[in-house]
Amino acid sequence: MKAVCPGSFDPVTTGHLDIFARTAAHFEEVVVLVTGNPAKRTGLFSIEERMDLIREVTADIPNLRVDNWAGLLVDYTSAHGINALVKGLRSSLDYEYELPMAQMNRRLTGVDTFFLLTDEKYGYVSSSLLKEVARYGGDVSGLLPEPVAKAVEVRFREEN
């Protein structure tokens, strides 16, 4: 069975990486799907840069590939014969956010969403929080994969 791990991943964190690796251990193939339109520059990193960083830090996971999609998730899963979405759940806040999306996606095409509880080490980790801490020079080591931490540092240096 194949699974999709969708998200904006701006940038990918160690918490995301943990979810990808655990998903890859349970499913035959995992697609990490970076959502968003590559023609529109919205975040800290372009869609291509986010995808390249994910490819770099997941190179040791043979049944994982990286793709991009700018439409409805269910259109991607239907077009690729995929029946499972996998997300990490950090807290009840994530649950409140994820529940309607999971129910809507299931209503649209019958695709199921599977939730993995985030490892306790990463329960407070989010891309936006890490970006804010890193922007002002705070220590995010261990919470971003090494190449991602370097890319974030370079990007903020370029900005200043």
Q: Extract the annotated binding site for substrate.
A: 8, 40, 73, 87
Q: Given candidates 8, 46, 68, 78, which one binds ligand PNS under the rule CB under 6 A? A: 8
**How many Å apart are CA 68 and CA 47, to the nearest integer?**
8
- Residues making up the annotated binding site are 8-9, 16, 40, 73, 87-90, 98, 122-128
- Residues 127-146 touching ligand PNS, rule: CB under 6 A, are none
Q: Are the C-beta atoms of residues 28 and 1 closer than 8 Å to each other? A: yes
Is 27 or 77 the residue whose CB approaches ligand PNS more closely? Answer: 77
**From edge to edge, which strands make up the β-sheet containing 29-35?**
64-69, 29-35, 2-7, 84-89, 112-117
Q: Which stretch binds ligand PNS (CB under 6 A): 5-13, 21-29, 37-45, 135-143?
A: 5-13
- Residues 78-107 touching ligand PNS, rule: CB under 6 A, are 101, 104-105
Q: Are the C-beta atoms of residues 16 and 128 closer than 8 Å to each other? A: no
**How many Å apart are CA 21 and CA 139, to the nearest integer?**
25
Contacting positions for ligand PNS (CB under 6 A): 6-8, 35, 72-73, 101, 104-105
